[in-house]
Chains A and B, each alone.
Chain A
Amino acid sequence: MKKKSWMMLVTLVLVISMVLAACGSGAETPTTGSTTPTENSTGGETTTEPTDANLAADQTLHLNLSAEPPTLDPAQAQDSQSNTALRFMYEGLATIDGDGNPAPGAAESWEVSEDGLTYTFKMRQGATWSNGDPVTANDFVYAWERVLSQETTPAPVYAYQLYYIKGAEDFNTGKTKDFSTVGVKAVDENTLEVTLANPTPYFLGLTSFYTFYPVHQASVEADQAWASDPSKMVTNGPFTLTTWTTGSEMDWTKNDKYWDAENIKLTNVTASIVNSGATETASYQGGEIDYAGAPTGEIPTDQIQPLSEQMPEEFKLTDIASTYYYEFNTKEAPFNNEKIRKAFAMSIDRKSLIENVTKAGQTPAFGFVPTSIAGLNNQSFRDEFPDSGYFTEDAAAAKTMLEEGMKEEGITTLPPITLLYNTSENHQKLALAVADMWKNTLGVEIQTKNEEWSVFLESRKTGNFQIARAGWSADYNDPMTFMDMFVSGGGNNNTGFANKEYDALIDSAYKGGNDPEKRMQDMAAAEKMLVQDNMVIMPVYYYTQASLTKPYLKGVTTDFSGAINFTRAYLEEH
């Protein structure tokens, strides 16, 4: 491209660049190759017991939430900020311990029947609500009925999280009005009996999820707006909400009536509500907050690398159970052709995208189920069924594949192709980089288009796209939370993919809770069908989350999904 005749211009270039080079002295910032190690923690650090000697005098934890929880009614919650907030205030039958396993919470112990269908929970003696009332089995029955009931306004969206319970779906959808058909029963004050529709190996873990939290019947019935008024909330967790200033701040105080109060070291928690990653990291560096980044907030992509180098002790990347992928509209040319879909999936360099664009040490994805989802025998699902065989990145083969696909379709040029993503700096960067890769490897010119969130969802739902960005995160620690998404006509299946064999595999896994080996194999077979055989979706990476923790803040744990638990945290002298 260089034209040597432009001597004048070159001279000018040299002069200006020398000036600029002279001006541009400053901190050296390496630009490629993130060196930050990824910590694959489903449990978090092993916590050393705090001794009173090294505890800071002021045990007030300062946090930031990037969005305000829309509600503190466990039945209505749907988002990660609500999750963090509710965890301070409520406790389910089980909790998740530091190693990611279910541990006794509001229930002291439990028994599971041989067929895996009936769970009998013994309530914890001495566990009380924040007003002193005992927490009973009836509180759970009431809470779950409230989630499922047709009368509850607004209708709880996450009611389907309870569909594992026998009869729950029929009751929720109005097929029956009789709650006694639902498999939840308080045998007595202290015994809760739950009957499931199918054996569900991950059910205990689910009971630590917020939709399964108990609520205090008297206070809920007393005031419609109880869940937004701290003075009217009666809760059973380690903390109680004391103030909530809409859009600005939330404060919690330790609940002395909590059964395990002696192991709760924090006395207060204060969360600002600031929706700006840059401001959040600035106030972390300025010492205003003790924890920054996901899942409560966000560290801007531009700052991930410099921060990881600046404060390696405080910076952490955690694998979480979410997958970033592009989905094809299999009903729309040219992606109605399987070979063309494969060509696109094979022709990008995921490692380069991660190292140079997303920069947060994500794992390149060749399958759909992320690395931190559990399999059997303390192995992750991904370890047992590696995704490496589904397809490989190969530009030359992709080019051939594209030509074959076009021949099958009888076309010599591809129709105009648009990659759709929802408005966000990160999605935009990735979309532009991917489009550029396609241009270089396949010689295909791709348009990128961003849409405002709701418009984007509407376009995707109505099939008004060719390729669209998508992300999916786990609701529970099992591959099923990913795999049941692509059944024929599934509510979240926007691709038009419909395959009876796939449906059969998923159905078999649904019902096969008593044969865990076969169940996992069914889901692995389904994944192979989804990715390797049909390439309905084009996996890009498995998410990580980046966070900063002050060195004196200890005892914070995150689970497989990245959800964070501060309740057992404490502050050391600093």
Chain B
Amino acid sequence: MANDNINKQSLPAVTAADFEQVDVNQRESEVIKRESLTAWRDTWERLRRNKVAMTGLFALILIVIASIVGPWISYWVHGYDYQTNDLLATNQKPSALHWFGTDDLGRDMFVRTWSGARISLIVGVAAALIDLFIGVIYGGIMGYFGGRVDTIMNKFSEILYAIPYLLVTILLLVVFKPSLGTIILALTITGWINMSWIVRGEIMKLKNREFVLASRSMGAGTGRLLFRHLLPNASGPIIVTLTLSVPSAIFAESFLSFLGLGVQAPVSSLGSMVENALTGWMYYPWRMFFPAVLISIIMLAFNLLGDGLRDALDPSLKNK
């Protein structure tokens, strides 16, 4: 304010040495710092306001807790676990003793449903996350680089996709001991391909967009372009695919159970329980009802949450 009154002569002489060289980093000039700090909080705020999505999240949390605690409750109260047979009490309707009834070996359906949910969730989530991890990297590289890289990688995934995964699964189960890990491995061996194709398609579509060009012209490198611009903008379809790959992994596992290649008895997943009840469900509906409803609720919850996340994440919907 009072600068004008400053005696110019009192100013020291300015020499070159007084200047400090500021490193003009082309990359950083493009960084939008404030945005990145609040991106996740922003998303969370949006998600929190979405009642439907929160219901889904809440249901999932409840199911996770129940699948941890549920089997214990029955064990403490009645003293049986998911594999305790009672041949004198087979196919019983839900009762005070067996809240969800019993199955064809007299095993308590309440315990089995929750421990089945535990297995299904582990299989589904683990497989989906592995699919996501591999699929995003693979698909991202394909879509971003295009050209020969794309062609070769694309061909590779096509060949892998075409190899009958039943063969692969049988072989895996013979080579490795049948376990949860083997099942997850079998499911992910081809499961990630679909994700990679979705990512590839999105990236190919996005990479010629103006904002990508702008970012590139301002010097953003490959990694930055991919992870800060392309993938976040592709996150809608990726999340939709992710929420669907949890259920599809759960279904794929039950299909393997259908062919006897799923989790080993007496351990069972929700899918294998439904499968097990399928031949007699007209007569013993509860054996199918509880696991089937629980599967459906899990699917529903994942879908609602996925929708909410998509709306919350999608930058293009920000101002709506």
Contact = CB atoms under 8 A, between A and B. Distances in A.
Contact flag (A, B; Cβ within 8 A): yes
Interface in B248-275: 259-261, 264-266
Contact of A450 (B75, B174, B265, B279): B265
Nearest to A355: B87
B260 A423 contact: yes
B78 A450 contact: no
The interface centre, meaning the residue of A302, A425, A432, A436 with most chain B CB atoms within 10 A of its CB, is A302
B283 A29 contact: yes
B91 interface: yes
A24 B91 CA distance: 13
A10 B77 contact: yes
Interface in B148-197: 170, 173-174, 178
A35 interface: no
B94 interface: yes
B166 to A, nearest CB: 10
A417 interface: no
Interface string A421-439: 0011100110111001000
B95 A24 contact: yes
Contacts of B278: 278
A81 to B, nearest CB: 20
B265 A301 contact: no
Nearest to A23: B94
B94 to A, nearest CB: 4
A32 B90 contact: yes
A428 B93 contact: no
Nearest to B170: A452
A452 B259 CA distance: 8
Contacts of A278: 278-280
B264 A449 contact: yes
The interface centre, meaning the residue of A18, A26, A452 with most chain B CB atoms within 10 A of its CB, is A452
B177 to A, nearest CB: 9
Interface stretch (B49-57, B98-106, B136-144, B308-316): B98-106
A450 B73 CA distance: 30
A432 B105 contact: yes
Interface stretch (A1-9, A40-48, A69-77, A171-179): A1-9
A166 to B, nearest CB: 45
Given A9-B77, A425-B276, A17 B266 contact: no
B93 A26 contact: yes
B236 to A, nearest CB: 40
Contacts of A23: 94
Given A23-B94, A429-B104, A432-B265, A32 B88 contact: yes
Given A2-B77, A448-B265, A357 B105 contact: yes
Interface string A296-307: 000011110010
A218 interface: no
A14 B96 contact: yes
A403 to B, nearest CB: 25
A303 B83 contact: no
A302 B95 contact: no
A20 B77 contact: no
A450 B265 CA distance: 8
A21 B95 contact: yes
Given A450-B260, A455-B170, A20 B94 contact: yes
Contacts of A10: 77
Contacts of B178: 449
Contacts of B302: none
A463 interface: no
A24 B78 CA distance: 21
A352 interface: yes
B115 interface: no
A353 B100 CA distance: 23
Contacts of A24: 93-95, 101, 286
A432 B266 contact: yes
Nearest to A434: B85
Nearest to B280: A302
A13 interface: yes
Could you say which interface size class chain A belongs to? 35 or more
A23 B282 CA distance: 17
Contacts of A433: 85, 87, 105
Contacts of B126: none
B265 to A, nearest CB: 5
The interface centre, meaning the residue of A3, A18, A306 with most chain B CB atoms within 10 A of its CB, is A306
Contacts, number: 121
Given A31-B91, A303-B280, A450-B264, A436 B174 contact: no
A277 B282 CA distance: 13
Given A302-B280, A425-B279, A436-B85, A31 B90 contact: yes
B292 interface: no
A424 B105 contact: no
A428 B170 CA distance: 18
B19 interface: no
Interface string B65-79: 000000001011111
Contacts of A356: 87-88, 90, 106
A16 interface: yes
B89 interface: yes
A423 B259 contact: yes
A17 B259 contact: no
Given A26-B93, A452-B170, A277 B104 contact: no
A277 B278 CA distance: 10
Contacts of B277: 302
B79 A306 contact: no
A56 B99 CA distance: 51
B186 to A, nearest CB: 13
Given A10-B77, A31-B89, A432-B83, A452 B279 contact: no
A300 B279 contact: yes
Contacts of A432: 83, 85, 105, 265-266
Interface string A458-479: 0000000000000000000000
Contacts of B261: 423, 452
Contacts of A428: 265
A13 B96 contact: yes
Interface in A306-349: 306
B280 A17 contact: no
Given A303-B280, A356-B106, A432-B85, A424 B260 contact: yes
B92 interface: yes
Given A24-B286, A432-B266, A277 B279 contact: yes
Given A278-B278, A449-B178, A455-B170, A29 B77 contact: no
Contacts of B87: 352-353, 356-357, 433
Nearest to A279: B279
B99 A16 contact: yes
Contact of A301 (B78, B93, B104): B104
A278 B280 CA distance: 8
Contact of B99 (A20, A357, A449, A452): A20
A5 to B, nearest CB: 11
Given A424-B260, A449-B178, A452-B170, A301 B73 contact: no
Contacts of A431: 265
Contacts of A302: 91, 104, 277, 279-280, 283-284
Contact of B284 (A14, A18, A29): A29
Top 4 nearest A-B pairs (CB, nearest first) are A302-B280, A423-B260, A1-B79, A300-B279
19 contacts: A9-B73, A9-B76, A13-B96, A20-B99, A21-B94, A23-B94, A24-B286, A26-B285, A29-B93, A302-B283, A306-B280, A356-B90, A423-B259, A423-B260, A424-B260, A425-B279, A432-B105, A436-B85, A448-B265
Given A302-B277, A452-B170, 19 more contacts: A1-B77, A2-B77, A3-B76, A16-B99, A17-B96, A24-B286, A29-B93, A31-B92, A277-B279, A278-B278, A278-B280, A301-B104, A301-B280, A424-B260, A425-B279, A429-B105, A433-B87, A436-B85, A450-B260
